[in-house]
Amino acid sequence: MACTPIIQDGIKIGWMCGDFSADEIRMETCGDCNDSFVADYLCDYPVAAEQTCDRPLCKKCAKTIGHDMHYCTSHHETWRDYEKSGEGHQKILDAISSGKQLTVIK
């Protein structure tokens, strides 16, 4: 039987055991705080054409920036910088309001 430790805030809080594969329970390590958890979110920040950051994020670290759109901590900071700069801000607002995936912003 496979067991996977469940880590929260750097402390092992328990084990998840059973006859399952890691894929089945979608066990991930949060890209930001290294907690082990059942993945809730992936970073939706565009890093290349048709490609998003996809960093797994726990509920605590995922920053909601729009409907069903979440950014990791560092990309959320980048986004906030864009937010302050004229053109990038507008692009992001357009993308959020249209519900579309963001295109690459450099």
**Interface segment toward Zn ion; rule CB under 5 A; list 9-17, 25-33, 79-87, 90-98:** 25-33
Under the binding rule (CB under 5 A), the answer on residue 72 touching Zn ion is yes
Q: List strand residue ranges (DSSP E) for 1-106, in order.
A: 2-8, 11-18, 27-29, 36-38, 41-42, 46-48, 51-52, 56-57, 63-66, 69-71
Least distance in angstroms from the C-beta of 79 to Zn ion: 9
Question: Distance (Å, rounded) from C-alpha 41 to C-alpha 63?
Answer: 10
Nearer to Zn ion, 74 or 89 (CB): 74
Nearer to Zn ion, 8 or 25 (CB): 8
Nearer to Zn ion, 77 or 94 (CB): 77
- What is the sign, positive or negative, of the torsion defined by CA atoms of 38, 43, 44, 47? negative
Residue 4: strand, helix, or coil: strand
The residue ranges that bind Zn ion (CB under 5 A) are: 30, 32-33, 43, 45, 53, 55, 58, 60-61, 72, 75
